[in-house]
Amino acid sequence: MRPYIDIHTHLGTTINRDPVCGQSATKFLARASQSGVVAAVPSAAPGGPQARGVLDTRDQNALVAKACRDFPDRFPIGLGVVEVRHLDPGVHELARSMDDDGLVGFMIHPGISGHAMRGELHPFLEAVESRRGLVMLHVGDRYIAASEALARRFSGVNFVMLHVGSNEIGHGHAVEAFAPLENVWVDIAQHPAPDELSWGIAAIVRDFPADRVMFGSDAPYYDYRVIQSAIERAPISDEAKDCVAWRNAAELIRKYAPGWDPPTGCPATPAEWSDVSLWETLPGQPLRLR
């Protein structure tokens, strides 16, 4: 099996789901050891606790930063999370997490965080742009135009647009919006129909720049082995599969960690997870991990 680099995974806990869903760095590494994943770009889980406001966000960012320090070969860079309702204190926490903890930007989920992916994000993006950082936006098919506008406005930020091509119409709109932009990459996490010829994985590889399409797991929410299997059987060349699986992600990571090379081989299973079933799913939802 070819190696995989996961551009899109989360550490921490999402509490606005029933049941609550989350993973630690070591639980991710345990899953990686069983699925061919050699490295990942972690971000703080959206929808985490907010009883203490920005202090909770600081703890969530610190969790990612610690994972990157503890496992620098497996987590070469990391992203924080932002909450637009924190206003200036939230912007200051983002800047602190980049300056002091070494994070390179943030990931945000508009549905969970309750915003429209528009001007309310500008102060946060200004902080990232001044540091030449990276931002991941949960786009799907609902936020294509808004995300395009942000990428055009903040051309000094590199963006990864997550969950692109989630339906046939959305695929066409995403290609039109994002393919021309030099500061945009896309991931295929949780693609609902990866084998569709007109808007599945092969179409995404065909319609976006060859060096801009990447594998993302969206762990801990999703059994991402389904997407790995779809990449392996997709009617694209082995070279294209390598690009999606790991090569494109490695090149993006090196923009922020110039000396990093992907590890050879998967991580060892951490002892605490050696006897634990890691792929149990929710009743009636065969792809939703517990």
CB distance 211 to 246 below 8 Å: no
Task: Give dist(CA 131, CA 86) in Å, integer.
Answer: 21
Q: Give pLDDT tens digits along the chain (290 positions).
A: 899 999 999 999 999 888 999 999 999 999 999 999 999 999 999 999 999 999 999 999 999 999 999 999 999 999 999 999 999 999 999 999 999 999 999 999 998 877 889 999 999 999 999 999 999 999 999 999 999 999 999 999 999 999 998 899 999 999 999 999 999 999 999 999 999 999 999 999 999 999 999 999 999 999 999 999 999 999 999 999 999 999 999 999 999 999 999 999 999 999 999 999 999 999 999 999 98
CATH code, 11: 3.20.20.140
Question: Is 59 within the bounds of a domain?
Answer: yes
Structural domains in the chain (count)? 1
Write the burial class of residue 22 (CB in 10 Å: 0-12 exposed, 13-18 middle, 19+ buried): middle
CA atoms within 13 A on the CB side of 254: 11
Q: Is 264 inside a domain boundary?
A: no
- Domain for residue 279, yes or no? no
Query: Can you give the pTM of this predicted structure?
Result: 0.97
Give me the pLDDT at residue 113, please: 78
Does residue 268 fall inside a structural domain? no
Asked if the structure places residue 116 within a domain, the reply is yes
Query: Counting every residue, how long is the chain?
Result: 290
Residue burial 216-255, b: 16+ Cβ < 10 Å; e: rest: bbbbbbbbbbebbebbeebebeeebbebbbbbbbbebbee
Helices 144-153 and 168-178: crossing angle in degrees, nearest 10, is: 10
278 in any annotated domain: no
- CA-CA-CA-CA torsion sign (48, 53, 59, 62): positive
Given this model, what pLDDT does residue 32 score?
99
Considering the domain boundaries, does residue 80 fall inside one? yes
Q: Which domain holds residue 53?
A: 4-258
* Cβ–Cβ < 8 Å for 67, 42: yes
**Sign of the dihedral through C-alpha 206, 208, 212, 214:** negative
